[in-house]
Amino acid sequence: MQKNKDNSMFKASWTYNEAPESTDHIQIKKKYDLYIDGKFSKPIKGKYFDTLNPSTNEKIASVAEATSEDVDAAVQAAKKAFESWSKLTGKERGKYIFRIARLIQERAREFAVIESLDGGKPIRESRDIDIPLAANHFFYYAGWADKLAYAFPNRNPKPIGVVGQIIPWNFPLLMAAWKLAPALATGNTVVLKPAETTSLTALKLAEIIHESGIPKGVVNIVTGAGETGAAIVNHPDVGKIAFTGSTNVGKYIQKATAGTHKKLTLELGGKGANIIFEDAAIDQAVEGIINAIFFNQGHVCCAGSRLFVQESVADIVIDKLKNRMETLIIGNPLDKNTDIGAINSKKQLQTIENYIKIGLNEGGEIYQPDCNLPKNGNWCAPTLFINVSQSHRIVQEEIFGPVLTIQTFRTINEVVEKANNTPYGLSAGVWTQNGAKMFHLTQKLNAGVIWGNTFNKFDATSPFGGTKESGFGREGGLHGLKPYVKFD
């Protein structure tokens, strides 16, 4: 593969010693059972699968595989618990949610280490972003629990019943928090399934939820792969499905729930446009590009994976981006200095590598920094494809990895047309110091989230969700309550 060495002129000479976060304070069991009806119980068919450390592909623990019988037990437990939980006052519900938030904070370090161990993301991200944000979501929605009448004035909001929640592997604990917190605050009971490659923090969360003393059956956590998810989606006693994951699975779920009473929210894939104008603060925009595409190894549905640079600054932006990429530290996710960690699974690595091959076959100009990737585990160097067009497959399809495509544009209208020319509509970023231009763009871009002079910023108070094939429904903020209530 072609590697350009010209960009090492500013290469760092001072290498930092390893600074691994210690793992001696964490507790991981050898075997994890299902959390159903307030108890950890073995799966009915007795099957378990391995969860691996993606940075080494060594086994961390065995996790129970829930079959449709287990899912049924979980739904029945949730259904029974709903009777009393939905009648509890909002204030009382809020107390439990606040307690969960505080317990996450207390054990934040343990959660951060396990998240990085099981998922491959750098400890800097799990410590500074995933875990604090997860706690924030619980705090935020705990506050809404006794104020729902004010969230929906004169509409008498009521809980739906049992909600089924299926979460992805890219932000395991954070996505669990996004889904659980509003569901509990509005008085629903939950059956939640974490992704099969990253079940551990959800199971740790089950321990915390148990510790919080929340009534049994209110939260049930079942682990497993696609079939377990399908059992939740197809269960007749589930009143609502909330899913975050790939667009293909989202389409399957929408078909499966069509013609049923089930409410549905989907947060699916994306191919976010990150647009840099000539009047942007270029050095900060370059940081923005890095943060948009290499955050969490690019395993981000709202990643800024399509870069659009105005032609007049294209050369300087690309040069600076290449120089900056030389200083990225790739390696052990538990090292505090790591910028880019491991790819979440072998399967995902194959997908990414396949797209890189497609890009090369399409004649894309590839750039990867001069970095040494660890031998074991799943690793992918941060990658640019320069001088590509809307017609390239790597520009059209979601890669879900650290691969950025770079296109140039000349005018506002041109870039709006190209940015919107995708089946997705989740995120976009605009970089300009011109306020009028910024507001003009945010009106024209068809995306659920548009960042101005920044990228990949999240907050519990801010709604998040997509348009077009990126899904529907919002999570976070006041909007995030709505999918979990019904009105008279």
Catalytic (active-site) positions:
267, 301
- What minimum distance in Å lies between the beta carbon of 287 and other proteins? 5
The Cβ-side half-sphere exposure at 312, using a 13 Å CA radius, reads 7
Q: Which is nearer to other proteins, 350 or 433 (CB)?
A: 433
Measured from the CB atom, the residue of 129 and 303 that comes closer to other proteins is: 129
Count CB-CB contacts under 10 A for residue 418.
18
Residue 73 to residue 67: CA distance in whole angstroms: 10
Give the C-alpha separation, 259 to 256, whole Å: 8
Looking at the Cβ atoms of 105 and 454, the one nearer to other proteins is: 454
Query: What would the DSSP string read from start to end of 159-225?
Result: E-SEEEEE--SSSHHHHHHHHHHHHHHTT-EEEEE--TT--HHHHHHHHHHHHTTPPTTSEEE---S
* Least spacing, CB of residue 274 vs other proteins, in Å: 14
CB of 328 to other proteins, least distance (A): 10
Q: How far is the CB of 448 from other proteins (least distance, A)?
A: 22
Specify the DSSP class assigned to residue 363: T
Give, in degrees to the nearest 5, the angle at Cα 176 between 171 and 180. 155
Give 291 or 446: the residue with its C-beta nearer to other proteins: 291
Q: How far is the CB of 430 from other proteins (least distance, A)?
A: 13
Q: With respect to other proteins, which residue has the nearer C-beta, 19 or 149?
A: 19
Applying CB under 8 A, the residues found at the interface with other proteins are 9-19, 124, 128, 279, 281-285, 287-288, 319, 327, 336-337, 433, 453-454
The β-bridge partners of 300 are none
Give min distance, CB of 9 to other proteins, in A: 7
In the complex, the smallest distance separating the C-beta of residue 341 from other proteins, rounded to whole angstroms, is 15
Q: Where are the alpha helices (DSSP H) in 330-399?
A: 346-361, 393-396
Cα separation, 206 vs 197, in Å, equals 17
β-sheet bridge partners, residue 190: 163, 219
**Geometric angle at alpha carbon 384, from 383 and 389, rounded to 5°:** 140
Sole residue written with tokens 């590509």: 388
Q: At 386, which helix (H) or strand (E)?
A: strand 383-386
Q: Measured from the CB of residue 281, what is the shortest distance to other proteins in angstroms?
A: 4
Q: How far is the CB of 352 from other proteins (least distance, A)?
A: 25
* Residue bearing tokens 């050898």: 30
Residue among 281, 216, 182, 194 nearest 41 (CA): 216
Dist. CA 155–CA 125, nearest whole Å: 40
Burial of 30 (0-12, 13-18, 19+ CB in 10 A): exposed
Closest among 24, 120, 66 to 343, alpha carbons compared: 120
Q: 348 in helix, strand or coil?
A: helix
Q: Which is nearer to other proteins, 369 or 465 (CB)?
A: 369
Give whichever of 83 and 459 is closer to other proteins, judged by the CB atom. 459
Q: Give me the helix-helix angle, 90-106 and 108-119, nearest 10°.
A: 70
Give the dihedral of Cα atoms 82, 35, 74, 471; nearest 10 deg: 80
If the CB atoms of residues 92 and 283 are measured against other proteins, the closer one turns out to be 283
Residue that has been written with the tokens 């007795």 in this structure: 46
Name the residue nearer to other proteins (CB basis): 88 or 282: 282
Q: Tokens representing 68?
A: 């449709």
